[in-house]
Amino acid sequence: MIGWLRHQKHALTCALRRLLAQPMATLLTTLAIGVAISLPSGLYLMLDNLNRLAGDLPAQPEISLFLNADVSPAQQQAIAARLKQADIAQARHVPKEQALTALSASQGLTDITAGLAENPLPDAWVVRPQASTREELARVADALGKLPGVAETHLDSQWAERLQAALAIGRTGVWLLAGLFGFALVAISGNAIRAQVLARRDEILVSRLIGATNRHIRRPFLYLGALQGLLGGLAAGGVLAIAGGVLRAPVAHLAGLYGSSFHLLPPTGLAIAAVLGLTTLFGWLGAWFSVARTLHQVEAAR
Amino acid sequence: MISFSQVTKRYPGGHEALSGVNLAIEKGEMVFLTGHSGAGKSTLLKLIAAIERPTSGVVSVSGQNISRLSRHAVPYLRRNIGLVFQDHKLLFDRNVIENVVLPLDIAGLERRESLKRARAVIDKVGLLNREKANPISLSGGEQQRLCIARALVSRPALLLADEPTGNLDAGYAADIMAMFRDFHQVGTTLVIATHDDRAISALGGRTLHLDHGKVVEVAA
């Protein structure tokens, strides 16, 4: 166990020394990884903020329940009781008088409504169900529509569905981009490690002759890949921090024009840790793919 | 310690470096391999260190059959063998002591202990005042002594040297050979490939002569 730890420590110091020995190469690889990773991470951040903006609006779907004109008080009570059940988050009764007042006030139709002999509007309920999926909503609307005294139900979820669909495409896009740039990271790291292995040809061959195991030779390169990935992740963080700083004021200005207090939020600690963990992992992976192949080449060319 | 039984080594292309070699080297012996260049001296040493595998026959080192040794076992075999090369194979990206400490790093020794042992062996080959120098600044003789220090730092039971004095003038060569005699006296088994006849006569010891892939024992 202590021997194993000693080997790890030795490999880590070797890797650090190699990174520092070639600051220019390290910097370039770090920047390449940083820029590549900042694209999907940036898109993720943007969606996260958009999602928050959408969450501020009443994106919750609503069902409007229009009652028969000749609905009886007993039916009214039955409907009110049904709307207290668990699958309904919130229900608001809109008597026809109130609906008419609201209509005349909001649409400037006072003249017309005043000329009506009787109120043509039905009593109504505006219901917000617990359910959020389309199927469940349709089922709830259907069930409510079959209650005695209910003339018609209207499911008002279109705009929420559209927004959710757009955000879903965005999220899929993030995963696609993340996958693509993950590959790019593996390739960048693999290439950097390949150069490192070729540059250390003599050391590898000599180490072999004096009893180094495969693992011993591979280990510093794997650490090197992981460190390079981690540095790349940090660079991506730097790129995004700068982008966020540049965008903050214009976004606040735009939000102000809409009378909103919306502002950009930085990523959570968990998201940062996840990105750094993934870049480290992918850097390691690139090194792992590259090192075995290149070592084989180096030794075959002996 | 080392035994060859009907060992043949044929390289791709058909060149037969060794043909049907039989020999035995006891623990603590000092053996010289002689012969013209291309006679198979280097091949014989490479077979002992499992750098090459025999085409046929059995090579056995410390009771281990080299031809049957798995790839994973080879590094552990090599840790018990010190190798001295004609071209030194030093690393010029690090100083003298870092070169010597390399086998101990590979074996996973504690760093402070490694440095202590490396310093002791550097002292033994007379390079203590050059500890921090880059090997590229050393003379040919000093480089060879550094190579020997690296071969000895892990205290191997067996030392293989391929033309250790090949590029050196007579004074340096005598130094190196005297060093080998000291190791022989403390019980290290040595196999030295050389065509330096003066060294052999000065040190004494068993001589195996290789001629076109065959071994002939030379009476002392």
Structure ipTM: 0.86
CB contact under 8 A, B106 and A203: no
Cβ–Cβ of A209/B78 closer than 8 Å? yes
Q: Which residue of B has its CA nearest to A21?
A: B93
A210/B79 touch (CB, cutoff 8 Å), yes or no: yes
DSSP for chain A reads -HHHHHHHHHHHHHHHHHHHH-HHHHHHHHHHHHHHHHHHHHHHHHHHHHHHHHHHS--S-EEEEEEPTT--HHHHHHHHHHTTSTTEEEEEEE-HHHHHHHHHHHHT-HHHHHT-SS--PPPEEEEEES--SHHHHHHHHHHHHTSTTEEEEEEE-HHHHHHHHHHHHHHHHHHHHHHHHHHHHHHHHHHHHHHHHHHTHHHHHHHHHTT--HHHHHHHHHHHHHHHHHHHHHHHHHHHHHHHHHHHHHHHHHHHHTT------PPPHHHHHHHHHHHHHHHHHHHHHHHHHHHHHHHHT-
Q: Which residues contact B10 (CB under 8 A, 6 or more apart)?
A: B16, B17, B55
Distance set, CA A181 to CA A27, A290, B51 (Å): 19, 18, 42
**Does residue A296 carry a pLDDT above 90?**
no
| pLDDT tens digits for range A192-207 | 999 989 888 888 999 9
Q: What residue of B is the nearest CA neighbor of A8?
A: B108
Q: Give the start-to-end residue ranges of the domains of chain A.
A: 2-57+162-300, 62-156
Better pLDDT: A1 or A31: A31
Instruction: Name chain B contacts of A209, Cβ cutoff 8 Å.
Output: 49, 51, 78, 83, 89
Contact A207 B79 (CB under 8 A): no
Mean pLDDT value of segment A132-159: 78
Predicted local confidence at residue A285, as pLDDT: 94
The segment with the largest mean pLDDT, out of A46-60, A150-164, B154-168, is: B154-168
What is chain B's mean pLDDT, rounded?
Answer: 89
How high is the pLDDT of residue A66?
A: 85
Per-residue pLDDT at B220: 57
Per-residue burial over A209-230, b if 16 or more Cβ lie within 10 Å, else e, is bbbbbeebbbbbbbbbbbbbbb
Provide the whole-model pTM.
0.74
B160 touching A (Cβ < 8 Å): no
Phi, psi for A46 (deg, rounded to 5):
-60, -45
Residue A238's closest CA among A217, A257, A212, A266?
Answer: A266
Between CA A96 and CA A117 the distance in angstroms is 14
Answer yes or no: do A211 and B78 touch at CB < 8 A. Answer: yes
Q: Which residues contact A270 (CB under 8 A, 6 or more apart)?
A: none
Q: How many CB atoms lie within 10 A of CB A91?
A: 19
Q: Is B170 on the interface with A (CB under 8 A)?
A: no
pLDDT value at residue A92: 82
**Mean pLDDT in residue range B161-168:** 84
Please determine, for residue A157, whether its predicted confidence score (pLDDT) is greater than 70.
no
Count Cβ atoms below 10 Å from residue A32 Cβ, excluding itself.
Answer: 20
pLDDT bucket at A38, cuts 50 / 70 / 90: very high
Res. B111 pLDDT band, cuts 50 70 90: confident
Which of A100-109, A270-279, B122-131 shows the lowest mean pLDDT across its residues? A100-109
CA distance B220 to B216: 12
User: Which residue is closest to B156 within chain A, CA to CA?
Assistant: A210
Residue among B72, B106, B108 whose CB faces A210 most closely:
B106
What average pLDDT does this structure show over A253-276? 85
Long-range contacts of A258-264 (CB under 8 A, 24+ apart): A260/A53, A260/A56, A262/A52, A262/A53, A262/A56, A264/A49
The reply to whether B91 touches chain A by the CB within 8 Å rule is yes
pLDDT of B137 strictly over 80: yes
Q: If you average pLDDT over every residue of chain A, what do you get?
A: 84
Task: Place domain B1-74+191-220 in its CATH homologous superfamily.
Answer: P-loop containing nucleotide triphosphate hydrolases (3.40.50.300)
pLDDT-derived band at A55, boundaries 50, 70, 90: low
Q: Which of B105, B115, B146, B155 is most worth mutating to test chain A (most A CB atoms within 10 A of its CB)?
A: B105
pLDDT of residue A302: 54
pLDDT of residue A158: 67
- Regarding the domain delimited by A62-156, which CATH topology (the fold level of the hierarchy) does it fall under? Alpha-Beta Plaits (3.30.70)
Does position A190 have pLDDT exceeding 80, yes or no? yes
Least confident of A153-167, A187-201, B154-168, B200-214: A153-167
Phi, psi of A261 (to 5 degrees): -95, 20
Q: Who among A3, A202, A211 is closest to B76 (CB)?
A: A211
For chain A positions 214-233, those within 8 Å of chain B (CB to CB) are: 214, 216
Nearest to A142 by CA among A155, A161, A156, A159: A155
Q: Chain A within 8 Å of B187 (Cβ-Cβ)?
A: no
Confidence class for position A54, pLDDT limits 50, 70, 90: low
Give the sign of the dihedral formed by CA B66, CA B71, CA B72, CA B74.
positive
Q: Do B89 and A205 count as a contact with CB atoms less than 8 A apart? A: yes
Residue of A210, A218, A295 to mutate, testing the B interface (most B Cβ within 10 Å of its Cβ):
A210
- Contact assessment for residue B210 and residue B40, using Cβ atoms and an 8 Å cutoff: yes
Q: Single out the residue of B171, B161, B168, B147 nearest to residue B194, CA to CA.
A: B161
Q: Which of B208, B209, B202 is nearest to B180 (CA)?
A: B202
pLDDT at A58 over 70: no
Is the CB of A115 inside 8 Å of chain B's CB atoms?
Answer: no
State the Cα–Cα distance between residues B151 and B160, nearest whole angstrom. Answer: 9
pLDDT at residue A107 in the model: 61
Query: Binning pLDDT at 50, 70 and 90, where does residue B177 land?
Result: confident
Percentage with pLDDT > 70 across chain A: 92
- Does the beta carbon of A62 lie under 8 angstroms from any beta carbon of chain B? no
- Is A206 within 8 Å of chain B by CB? yes
CB contacts of B93 in chain A (<8 Å) are 203
A6: nearest CB among B89, B102, B108: B108
